[in-house]
A and B are shown apart, each in its own frame.
Chain A
Amino acid sequence: MIGGLFIYNHKGEVLISRVYRDDIGRNAVDAFRVNVIHARQQVRSPVTNIARTSFFHVKRSNIWLAAVTKQNVNAAMVFEFLYKMCDVMAAYFGKISEENIKNNFVLIYELLDEILDFGYPQNSETGALKTFITQQGIKSQHTKEEQSQITSQVTGQIGWRREGIKYRRNELFLDVLESVNLLMSPQGQVLSAHVSGRVVMKSYLSGMPECKFGMNDKIVIEKQGKGTADETGKSGKQSIAIDDCTFHQCVRLSKFDSERSISFIPPDGEFELMRYRTTKDIILPFRVIPLVREVGRTKLEVKVVIKSNFKPSLLAQKIEVRIPTPLNTSGVQVICMKGKAKYKASENAIVWKIKRMAGMKESQISAEIELLPTNDKKKWARPPISMNFEVPFAPSGLKVRYLKVFEPKLNYSDHDVIKWVRYIGRSGIYETRC
């Protein structure tokens, strides 16, 4: 298991060091600094073996988190734990920075003591942790009931929610957040496209509500369609094929496996209910058509057309097209029909921004790039043109069909819960080669 955990700043100074196992000595701290943080060549793997000791590291801004072990640990678990550690810290004190870590080092030690015992990760749900580890020092004056409530929550089946939550207004928010990824060849052929989506839920519900979530999952719709034959025609068309999905630990996986129904008792507040991935019938909101022409050795002509491909009534926002330029660019002249375009020398790119754009529209930019003559034999690698945007629909076609809430003990019903649903489609890695 994990033998020790260190947090360093960008200079390689230790901010936090917690050793769980005897086989990890103080020299391990230095070994990582010398061989990874201060290494002359950037390390090429997140797992490094130095003198039979394995180091796993992740970086958050300029902070290094390293887990150390001498055993054959579950590597996936170590990384998951490091991410979780970051999440927990962020939930307690915000951004992970040197300043924040130094300010909260006692808290961090306390957390590390709680969520990692002898190198075995323990309950690391912030909701549960916050009931007994707080920034204002430890509440030692818990009543007896409170104490047993804490321990049963930390170890219990529903470790992510405590009993006795009360709201005057029962309300929940569902956000369907999708990022659409695309890699397109210069000729407009889709090389790969997929949507990775998340359903994020913010719940403000009293008691221990039992929830059931439904969407236009093809498998479910087809199963139901068999019962009512006439409905298949209508809804079958709108259903989507989900390649794979993963769920928050509150979702009963065995039930999903057998009935494909998503039922759970939600944590209080915001959490990510599910993640999913689709590859079929994706609505690609934008099409990028590049045209690059080399005029002699010192000039490039670039023309890029973007076309929006969705309902004219909808508006895309925060559109940004990034056109890479060669390293030896000396000057750029840009003309664009819409929005603003700028050559950013520090980023080696022309950045073209459009605030809003309706569906089924088209816009274009043309640029003349002047190049300094070089004797560098190597050709310019021509990085792809990338794009950012936000659209108010789900490019995968996912629709929320229902979210039912049952709370048998308290007297509120599904109708009393106020529900909000919102769809946001964003660009993931949305690239067109040129």
Chain B
Amino acid sequence: MTDSKYFTTTKKGEIFELKAELNSDKKEKKKEAVKKVIASMTVGKDVSALFPDVVNCMQTDNLELKKLVYLYLMNYAKSQPDMAIMAVNTFVKDCEDPNPLIRALAVRTMGCIRVDKITEYLCEPLRKCLKDEDPYVRKTAAVCVAKLHDINAQLVEDQGFLDTLKDLISDSNPMVVANAVAALSEIAESHPSSNLLDLNPQSINKLLTALNECTEWGQIFILDCLANYMPKDDREAQSICERVTPRLSHANSAVVLSAVKVLMKFMEMLSKDLDYYGTLLKKLAPPLVTLLSAEPELQYVALRNINLIVQKRPEILKHEMKVFFVKYNDPIYVKLEKLDIMIRLASQANIAQVLAELKEYATEVDVDFVRKAVRAIGRCAIKVEQSAERCVSTLLDLIQTKVNYVVQEAIVVIKDIFRKYPNKYESVIATLCENLDSLDEPEARAAMIWIVGEYAERIDNADELLESFLEGFHDESTQVQLQLLTAIVKLFLKKPTETQELVQQVLSLATQDSDNPDLRDRGYIYWRLLSTDPVAAKEVVLAEKPLISEETDLIEPTLLDELICYIGTLASVYHKPPSAFVEGSRGVVHKSLPPRTGSSESAESPEAAPTGAPPSEQPAVIPAQGDLLGDLLNLDLGPPVSGPPMTTASVQMGAVDLLGGGLDSLMGDESEGMGGTNFAAPPAGTMPATLSAPIGGGLGDLFDLTSGVGTLSGSYVAPKAVWLPAMKAKGLEISGTFTRQVGSISMDLLLTNKALQVMSDFAIQFNRNSFGLAPAAPLQVHAPLSPNQTVEISLPLNTVGSVMKMDPLNNLQVAVKNNIDVFYFSTLYPLHILFVEDGKMERQMFLATWKDIPNENEAQFQIKDCPLNAEAVSSKLQGSNIFTIAKRNVEGQDMLYQSLKLTNGIWVLAELRIQPGNPNFTLSLKCRAPEVSQHVYQAYETVLKN
């Protein structure tokens, strides 16, 4: 008996006939009729008119008939919602059937009947089935929750099905677990914010156990779900990786790719120094290669993914070049993908082999493939310098074949080779020029014109060649027109005498006869340049061009990282994020790789920070090394801050950049920017937004630091105090203060003559002191000081005088002489004038030093009544050369880690703890010379409170 006869009923009046048969008393006839209905449905005929008759057949013991009716129901229930309710009773009854197969069938079909009215009737049976004793029913019910959620999400939440589903993750049957995971993952996707898939080490452990036991499909669901988990540290990441690696030997390629996804993702968290990291890298290569012996469609998926993997981690497959060699019988889509990967893997070590292969491919039949192969040869030349010569000669061989598209493609890549290795392969230009006539594609024509323009001085008939293109100027594509304009201007600048007419002609064509604004603008700019200052024009147009980079067609790194999270899926096949091809809310969730951690290069993840914080009873809180480094990365985003004020710098740079960019496009280079000039710091005005954000703290610091430098431009200066009263010095009153400005210390003195006679012949001398302070120049009072006159003098100081430890440490004894007598006084200088500008310690140094200094050298102080917040504090201190290296927030307190260096090379490390709302700060200082601590603390006080 065959069923194919059902496909051949095309009679008129068929529906009526079927109706009669469906209502027949004979079971066999009924079944036959339903089969006919299904067959008609399949080929797209509308048989919805039979709805009531078919539903009537539902009440039957015959499972086959039942299944057919269900199939019909799933298709047409939506168009006949009122009638569909008729079926509800049967479903409810079937859900109680003693046969688990029937219970499952009922619950499976129920979910597929997408009629709102019915859904509420389904809740009770579904609830029962979710707790059914038979795993087959439970695994079907789990999927049904996802179905119901798709129809009515609110209902599912209200009925508490999500919790039941979560419970199923701990089910004893692996297939139930797998389906529950699949359903939850899908539901979670449409609620990006919810914490539905609450993955924690315990649930992960359950999933990993189920992984070993469930079907191949279940393994895929679980692995895809695991990939969304973020392990809390590298140890957890490693232990998951260890349990996932056996999946790499699975016969199902999808299992393998999903396992690769998990590994690639969690590998980010492993330190590269770890032995395991290397082992893992080695383990990844063979399964990836094995994927290439799968069926061609899967090979295609695998190759698209390998393309991502070699960009992310080239080391995995660097020795596997040969497996990507194209086979004669590979489908074209596999060939093209292999070629892409071959170029990516090409290196000096394998270039000879690769070139031999590419040359082979360039003689194949498929036009796209041949073009790509030719292009690949050019890429190799650019990528591996040693091979450039061989590549060029291969390309020349190919040009000799005179196959039109091969020649054109070759010329396009030779242009790129010229751009990479200027003035090296010009000898081939003659050969290229021979093929001028055969070029009919814009890209090839533009490339050829560029070559002619660039090397106009070496091509005798350059003007003729370019003139020949000019004839059909308006028929050319924009690309060619722009190139032609630039090339002729270049030619004119190189050989002005013979080509004046030509340049006039092209300029007028471009400016007067063209509607294309780009072309017109470029034409006008050239014209003005040439008419105002030909020398400048020459400098601009014929300027040396930056070389093109080696790697091209690379996927932008953030997108690449996102795509790595989507290995195995469509996104990885399209090389696009899901949002680019998926409608609605699904796939909008942006996935990203876990941040790298480890000892050598690391950034802290937001979650990791609190756990890494040491207990608070410890007086000195030093963050884990990794955390500090994380901050370092943030801080280092900008250039060093000790230079001139940033704001002005960025304005100037901006101007340069604008010009540079403009010039660059004028010069006829299509793609690359003038990378070098583009280093302007972001203008300070854009920064405040990040000030309060915890992660942006680094940037915030940067901003504050810059403004600190910009406004204060020097350390705090105390008001002048009287050092030597007039009474003690026969009428000479000296008051003064110390300042530090841009690296130089000075003593600002105010000398007042309160005597009745004129004073002259001033001189000053310091006694030996703790830091070797000494006048850097003699005290210069130019005119004699008449009575009641005051003179202000700034005396530059240095720290190269003789040293003697004083008590107190910052005591300075000074002798001042004038024509009357010698007077002595002593004063205390604030220590912060000795804080040098390069007192910013590197973080790692800081950390090491902090640990290195014995704890007994630590001193703790309270700074009372200081109402500033952490940012203000660090910017204020920065002005006095106390540098904030890192800032962390621990349990609501801001911790500032700071360093400063004294003129004599003593480092002082500080930890400043600031509680918001509490004006009292705690300052811990560590220094190898603990005597200075007290004075440093005073310096802090002084700076902060003024």
Contacts and interface: CB of A to CB of B under 8 A. Distances in A.
B221 A120 contact: yes
A388 interface: no
Interface stretch (A144-152, A285-293, A361-369, A411-419): A144-152
A75 B216 contact: no
A245 B146 contact: no
Interface stretch (A41-49, A165-173, A229-237): A41-49
A183 B325 contact: yes
B671 interface: no
Nearest to B336: A44
A138 B336 CA distance: 47
A49 B134 CA distance: 40
B249 A72 contact: no
A396 to B, nearest CB: 14
Contacts of A123: 175, 215, 217
Interface in A45-78: 45-47, 49, 52, 54, 56-58, 69-77
A113 B99 contact: no
B100 A56 contact: no
B714 interface: no
A243 B293 CA distance: 13
Contact of A253 (B137, B212, B327, B329): B212
Interface in A139-163: 140, 142, 144, 147-148, 150-152, 154-157, 159
Given A79-B298, A79-B301, A113-B71, A249 B250 contact: yes
Contact of A142 (B99, B140, B293, B301): B99
B478 to A, nearest CB: 27
A17 interface: yes
A223 B768 CA distance: 77
B858 interface: no
Contact of B147 (A44, A118, A192): A118
B328 A384 contact: yes
A76 B328 contact: no
B282 to A, nearest CB: 12
A82 to B, nearest CB: 8
Interface stretch (B59-67, B159-167, B485-493, B871-879): B59-67
Given A72-B582, A105-B38, A118-B143, A151 B100 contact: yes
Contact of B249 (A81, A157, A246, A272): A246
Interface in A356-393: 377-379, 381-384, 386
Interface in A96-149: 99, 102-106, 109-110, 113, 117-118, 120-125, 132, 137-138, 140, 142, 144, 147-148
Contacts of A253: 212, 246-247, 249-250
Contacts of B360: 433
Contacts, number: 286
B372 interface: no
A346 interface: no
A152 B42 contact: no
A106 B570 contact: no
A195 B4 CA distance: 43
Contacts of B578: 72
A244 B289 CA distance: 8
B740 interface: no
Nearest to A16: B42
B570 A47 contact: yes
Given A14-B43, A75-B301, A80 B254 contact: yes
Contacts of B70: 113
Nearest to A125: B215
Nearest to B175: A155
B184 interface: no
Contacts of B212: 252-254
Nearest to B579: A72
B63 A138 contact: yes
Given A79-B298, A148-B134, A150-B101, A243 B249 contact: no
B111 interface: yes
A80 B301 CA distance: 11
A156 B178 CA distance: 12
A338 to B, nearest CB: 26
Q: Is the interface of B mostly helix, strand, loop or mixed?
A: helix
Contacts of A122: 139, 175, 179, 215, 217
B909 interface: no
Given A70-B582, A151-B100, A76 B301 contact: yes
A99 to B, nearest CB: 7
* Most chain B beta-carbon neighbours within 10 Å: one of A13, A118, A185: A118
Contact of A244 (B98, B176, B287, B573): B287
Given A109-B71, A113-B108, A192 B323 contact: yes
Contacts of A20: 112
Nearest to B150: A22
Given A56-B297, A103-B3, A192-B322, A148 B100 contact: yes
Contact of A156 (B42, B173, B252): B173
B135 interface: yes
A418 B526 CA distance: 90
B42 A155 contact: no
Given A106-B35, A152-B135, A249-B251, A257 B245 contact: yes
Contacts of B58: none
Given A72-B571, A106-B38, A46 B61 contact: no
Interface in B3-27: 3-4, 6-7
A109 B75 CA distance: 13
A155 B135 contact: yes
A383 B327 CA distance: 11
A404 interface: no
B186 interface: yes
Contacts of A137: 64
A121 B224 CA distance: 14
Contacts of B543: none
B247 A75 contact: no
A218 interface: no
Interface string B211-229: 0111111001100100000
Contacts of B2: 102-103
B574 A49 contact: yes
B257 interface: yes
B61 A140 contact: yes
B779 to A, nearest CB: 79
A260 B136 CA distance: 33
A106 B139 contact: no
Contacts of A49: 574, 581
A44 B143 contact: no
A277 B289 contact: yes
B290 A244 contact: yes
A249 B297 CA distance: 22
Interface in B232-257: 243, 245-247, 249-254, 256-257
A430 B845 CA distance: 61
B158 interface: no
A226 interface: no
* Most chain A beta-carbon neighbours within 10 Å: one of B224, B290, B363: B290
A49 B574 CA distance: 9
A295 B25 CA distance: 82
Contacts of A82: 297
B310 interface: no
A196 interface: yes
Please list the 7 inter-chain residue pairs (A to B) with the smallest Cβ-Cβ separation, ordered nearest first: A244-B286, A151-B136, A102-B4, A257-B246, A76-B254, A77-B254, A253-B246
Given A246-B290, A277-B290, 8 more contacts: A72-B587, A74-B224, A140-B61, A142-B101, A150-B101, A192-B325, A253-B246, A277-B289
5 contacts: A45-B300, A71-B570, A117-B108, A122-B139, A123-B217
Interface of A: 1, 13-17, 19-23, 26, 29, 44-47, 49, 52, 54, 56-58, 69-77, 79-83, 99, 102-106, 109-110, 113, 117-118, 120-125, 132, 137-138, 140, 142, 144, 147-148, 150-152, 154-157, 159, 183, 185, 191-192, 194, 196, 243-249, 252-254, 256-257, 272, 274-275, 277, 377-379, 381-384, 386, 429, 431, 433
